[in-house]
Structure 1
């Protein structure tokens, strides 16, 4: 991976301690001057979760603000977004109310995003909408947003289990909750995970965890993970792989799995920077920013201290950060006329490959349950790195 994306990720990690952070930090004034050309006549809006729900995309949005200055407008959606969808809609509309805003990027595109796009379309139809990591029905979000980015959840239904099998897994625990299982892609992936486990002789355990948007909030969900993993290992054994569908659960899951000597094939949003640094207490010194070998060595060393070598892995590309940065660069290319159509797969692959530092091929999504194929819904799948 090139220094660009690694530096982006590490700069974000340096910006705030990841452990125990449940409120967003104030956005600092941009350190860099905006581009000094005609491009400054337009703006791009970015909406993400707060640091408690989506550290990586929040920091990626801040980094885009730092890079492009006043060309970027930032918004967040509420932590309890299921009960506060009107706030999500209002925040998107507020960005669109600025006539200079020509594109809006939402990562993660939580429930309420489609309604927000509809509301904006009533006002104006010239805004390019990019939705990353959608939490709504794929047919619906694909019909509302111009471009949709998604990690290949269905491909993960096979790849996660194959990775767990390589680690020696005999059991696979899938933590989720009813709200996430109402998301079609997550439910389809769960079913594929179960089917792949059955085909490989691995015991699949469908475990229900508290919803972080519920009454107990993020702390309650995290505490449940810390307490339940030891119970599952005692019941099933250390040759059990664990997976959770929720971002805020990854840090406690890594901590507890490591302490119990179990297996952890990947996070919900795979990336070396998602959960690992906070869970392992890794601090990156200034002179090591951008040094991917150093970061991997630190993660590997921390895991090795507790005998976890070969039991933890992830993707080498921070996928949600890729969606934010790639979304901004794609929007700029469209607004500035480098591409003439709202959907340009070749240009998107070019931008993603440049950011990631290696060739990336995207596939389009076909909803097997409806038979609909979407040329604007792009799926991304990566190989693994094992610590």
Structure 2
């Protein structure tokens, strides 16, 4: 099933959406141990949902709660004897050897039939290369990869990522629909060295020019720099009011970094500005913590409650119609859909060639019937059918969302 993989490791791009994180009060988790290599492969029983196990690798709870929780949902559904939830090290950028060790341990268990990685942070390719030296019989899915797309395709059977390039036009257009006259883009050199993020910014500039928005390219501190996440967040809290004072309340703000979303939402809320979308689209991403909303879980009812409470807060501030996101947490959807697809692959319900129709049906099921479509990633006229780019319609908070 796997293509031949070169033994040369691919240098990781200096990028981290894991540093781009939703902070919680929970302590950092430590990677779970996987069973030893001696563990014999068990014979599947008729009652089992699938033979063997599926390993899901996520960032820690303190790095990205949505990814962590989505893996836990799969553990709750299938049980910890079928789903192995393993964690990347918190400081994965400086702990590449531990990443390799984590994936190698997973591969040493012959019962593991599929590997889901969310996020596929820098260093994932090198870790998977070690796995593929001994295992070429495993279904591998990458979610939100941060390494060179053609190299990623050589290693993974399924790649899922929000359509970053498509957002180059949809986010400014959404901002204009909400009344924006100016569009402020916060990022930093490390993120702008990532091909997709840099290309998206260029498309945003082009779209703003086309539709008549003033584009402001603003540099923020890197959360992995000397000032850390607190320094980057404080910068956003202090800079947004200055931008609003300069350009007016009809200014839309966007940041490429997850850790900046909570202060960005809070600052936009306080200043009465416009916020078209988090970097990782989701009703949970930044909104509850920024607006003081208690989240009671990730079920359909819990999600509807979070959306309703967010709309109430915005209504109280007279800001309905000026804040939006996607209607479901895309990071969680990616874990769930790729895991469910892996189950079908293990059970022989899909073959080695990616069945896009089945994949999109699984996503739509997760999204409670909201249609989810994917596009093929294209680079330099080369198409990569297993690399699926996700796009959804916006949820613009309104009276209709209040229950």
Normalization by structure 2: what TM-score? 0.84
- For structure 1, the 5+ residue unaligned runs are 1-17, 29-34
Which residue is equivalent to 1:235? 246
For 1:183 and 1:360, the matched residues in 2 are separated by: 26
The match for 1:354 among 358, 365, 373 is: 365
The match for 1:124 among 135, 145, 152 is: 135
The alpha-carbon deviation at position 182 of structure 1 amounts to 1.7
Alignment of 1:23 onto 2:27? yes
Matches within 5 A, 1:1-387: 20-21=24-25, 23-24=27-28, 37-39=47-49, 41-69=51-79, 70-284=81-295, 290=301, 292-356=303-367, 357-367=369-379, 370-387=380-397
Which residue is equivalent to 2:18? none
Pick the structure with more helix per residue.
Answer: 1
For 2:296 and 2:60, the matched residues in 1 are separated by: 25
Deviations 1:264-321 (A, max 9, x none): 00001111111111111112569x9715554322111112222322110011121110
For 1:374 and 1:99, the matched residues in 2 are separated by: 29
For 1:172 and 1:128, the matched residues in 2 are separated by: 41
- For structure 2, the 5+ residue unaligned runs are 1-21, 33-44, 398-403
Distance 1:171 1:79, change over 3 A: farther
For 1:87 and 1:242, the matched residues in 2 are separated by: 37
Deviations 1:183-235 (A, max 9, x none): 21111111101110111121111122222233333222222222221222222
For 2:385 and 2:211, the matched residues in 1 are separated by: 33
RMSD (CA atoms): 2.3
The alpha-carbon deviation at position 342 of structure 1 amounts to 4.5
Q: Which moved more, 1:293-302 or 1:327-336?
A: 293-302
For 2:207 and 2:107, the matched residues in 1 are separated by: 44
**Is the contact made by 2:256 and 2:279 (CA closer than 8 Å) also made in structure 1?**
yes
**Is the contact made by 2:51 and 2:347 (CA closer than 8 Å) also made in structure 1?**
no
Distance 1:285 1:111, change over 3 A: closer
Aligned residues: 362
Which residue is equivalent to 2:42? none
